[in-house]
Structure 1
Amino acid sequence: MPQKDYVKTARPKPKAKPRASNARRGNARPTQGANRPWLLIIITALLLGSFGWFLWYLKQQPANPQQPPAEVSKSKPVVDDLPVKPVAEPYQYIKELENKEVQVEVDTTEREPQGPFQMQCGSFRQAEQAEAMRAQIAFAGFASAVRRTEGTNGIWYRVVLGPYDSKRQATADRNRLQQQNINGCRIWNWT
C-alpha cells in the first residue's frame, strides 16, 4: 500500500496569480530571441568559416618549420654518426644464467605448536554488559562465553571466544566480527 503524505495534504494550496499578457500590460514588444534568428545563423556561419580557414592555414604550413632545409654538397660524402656494431656480445651473464642451478636450503625441523589461542572481545564490571556483548557475538554467528575473574582491582566479566588451534583461525574470526561492527577483540596465547 503506498504511503500517503498527510503533511502535504493538510496545507492549503497557494492560489495561482493570473498572468497578464504583454499586450494587456501595454508592453507590445516581442521577446528579443524570437525576432532575431538571423543573428544566430550569422554567428554560426562565421565560426564555421573561421574554423575552415584555420584548417586550410595549417595544411599550407611546412611540415617542420624549425629546421632549415639542409644543403647537400656534392664534394662531401654523407658520414654515418652511428658507432661500430660490436662483433661479440660483451655480457656473459646471459649464457651463465641459462645453465645455472639455484640451491635452496630446506629447513626440515618441525616447529613446535604455539599452543591454543583465545580471543577476548570485552571485559566488563557488570555481568549484564558482558551478556549483552555475548548476545551481539551470538547474532554474528559465533559461540562465546562469559568468564568471571577476580583480580587485585575487583571482579571482571570477560567475553571470550575459543580455544583456537592456530592464530590464523582466530584472526579470521576477528575479521568477520569486525565486519559485523564488533571491534576491540584481542587474541591471546592461552597457556
Structure 2
Amino acid sequence: MPHKDYVKTARPKPKAKPSAARRTNTRSAPKARRPWLLMIITALLLASFGWFLWYLKQQPVSPEKTAPAITRTKPTVDDLPAKPVAEPYQYIKELENREIQVEVDSTPRQPQGPFQMQCGSFRQAEQAEAMRAQIAFAGFTSTVRRTEGSNGVWFRVVLGPYDSRRQATADRNRLQQQNINGCQIWNWT
C-alpha cells in the first residue's frame, strides 16, 4: 500500500504572482486619477481666506479703539524733583557711633584630648593585617593593637593619635574616598 503524504495535501497552494504587464497597469492607474475633491476643498479654503481679509479691510476703524501714539520727550531740568538737602535716613551715622557689647567667657576651653580612629576589629591577626595594608595603600600609617576582653582576643586597626577631631574627620573622609568605610573616631584618654 502506497504511503500518502497528508501534510502536503493540507497545505494551501501559493498564489500565482501577477505578470509584469499586469503590475505596470495597476500602478499607472492611480496616477491617472486626479483628486478632484481635495482640489475643490483647497480652492474653497483659499477663497474664504481671501474674502475674510477683504472683509477686515472694509471695516471702519473707530478712534476710541486705537492706541494713542507714544511720543518720547527728554525731561528738562525743571521736570526733575528737587535734590534733598540732607539724607532722610540716619542709620549710617547711628551705626558708626554704636558699640557692640560681646560677652566673653573668661573660662578657657579645655582641649578635648587626643583622638584615635579605629577602622576595624577582627578576631584573626591576618584580617587585621589585610585592613592595615589597605590603609597603607591609601597613604596612611596604622597600627594593629591586640586587646583582650571578656569575650576573647581582638585585633584592632587604629590610626592616630590626632590632636583634634577635625584632623581625624579629614583623614576618615579621605579613607572613605578610597572605599575604606566604617572608621570610627574615639576620644583617647
Task: Give the TM-score of the pair, scaled to structure 2.
Answer: 0.53
Matching of residue 121 in structure 1 with residue 124 in structure 2: no
Distance in structure 2 (CA, Å) of the matches to 1:100 and 1:130: 62
TM-score between both structures, scaled by the size of structure 1: 0.53
How many angstroms does 1:108 deviate by?
5.3
Deviation at 1:115, TM superposition (A): 1.5
CA distance in 2, matches of 1:24, 1:128: 89
Partner residue in 1 for 2:178: 180
Give the alignment of 1:83-162 within 5 angstroms: 96-107=94-105, 109-162=107-160
| d(CA) in 2 for partners of 1:120, 1:145 | 10
Q: Percent identity?
A: 75
4+ residue segments displaced more than 4 Å? 29-32, 60-63, 91-95
CA offsets per residue over residues 118-148 of structure 1, 9 Å max, x none?
Answer: 1000111111111111111011000001111
Partner of 1:26: helix, strand, or coil? helix
2:46 pairs with 1:26 = no
Provide the rounded CA distance (Å) in 1 between the counterparts of 2:28 and 2:145. Answer: 89
What's the Cα RMSD here? 4.0
CA shift at 1:98, angstroms? 4.3
| Inter-CA distance 26–179: structure 2 relative to 1 (3 Å threshold) | same
- Identify if the C-alpha distance between structure 1 residues 137 and 92 changes in structure 2 by more than 3 Å, giving closer, same or farther: same
In 2: Cα distance, 1:106 partner to 1:129 partner: 51
> What is the CA–CA distance in structure 1 between the aligned matches of 2:143 and 2:133, rounded to whole Å?
10
Aligned length: 128
Q: CA offsets, 1:67-94, max 9 Å, x none? A: xxxxxxxxxxxxxxxxxxxxxx6x8766
Task: For 2:183 and 2:157, locate their aligned partners in 1 and report how far apart those are by CA, in whole Å.
Answer: 9
Higher helix share: 2
Q: Which runs of 5+ in 1 are unaligned?
A: 1-22, 33-38, 64-88
How far apart are 1:100 and its partner, in Å?
Answer: 1.5
